Structure 1
Amino acid sequence: MGKLNASLPPGRFAGAAAGPDRREQRRLDQAAGLVSFPVKLQQSIITALREKAEADGVPVNELINTLLANALKG
């Protein structure tokens, strides 16, 4: 059984190795002052947010951060 686990096909996870691992990403996020805040939204809102982020050329997280900050300012 151990031989099966040890013999992963080469390059199987090549795409995942391109970016930082989860622990490193968490450290980078904390250094930037980012905190995970999961919420449940309707699919239509998610779709609209993704489309607007793509049209504006910004990440969805940045768009949501900006929209919420502006909404809280009044």
Structure 2
Amino acid sequence: MKKFDLEKVKAQKTMGKMKQEGLPGQFGGAADAALDRRAQRKVDQAQGLVSFPVKLRQDVIHQIRERAVQQDKSTNDIIGQLLEQALKG
């Protein structure tokens, strides 16, 4: 083998080792958070929930959050109740 080929093989080995080692500690928390989101998405799908992002005015969001605190529920529950009431009536 030529010297160039030897260096190329050495570089490939180094790159392979770097890929197998995983992420450094500073990125480890973000990787765990992604797994948590993925698990949460599966739980939501099992419950029949679908992600539905909406843009609302700040004052409306503030009222929803206040109501959630008063009723000791999540904002998702409050928004779901409000939408169901609006669609029924």
Quickly name the TM-score band, shorter chain normalised: 0.7 to 0.9
Q: Which runs of 4+ in 1 moved over 6 A?
A: none
Aligned residues: 64
CA pair 6-44 structure 1, distance change in 2 beyond 3 A = same
Residues of 1 paired with 2:47 and 2:59: CA distance? 30
> RCO higher in 1 or 2 (8 Å CA, sep ≥ 6)?
1
| Counterpart position of 1:35 | 50
Post-superposition offset of 1:23: 1.0
User: Structure 1 stretches of 5 or more lacking a match?
Assistant: none
Query: What SS does the corresponding residue of 2:41 show, helix, strand or coil?
Result: helix
- With the length of structure 2 as denominator, give the TM-score of the two structures: 0.63
Structure with max Cα Rg: 2
1:34-67 per-position Cα deviation (integer Å, ceiling 9, x unaligned)? 0000111000000010001101111000011011
Q: What do you get for the CA RMSD once the two structures are aligned?
A: 2.1
1:26 aligns with 2:41: yes
- With the length of structure 1 as denominator, give the TM-score of the two structures: 0.74
Amino acid of the residue matched to residue 44 of structure 1?
A: D
1:67 aligns with 2:85: no
User: Structure 2 stretches of 5 or more lacking a match?
Assistant: 1-17
For 2:70, which of 51, 55, 65 is the aligned residue?
55
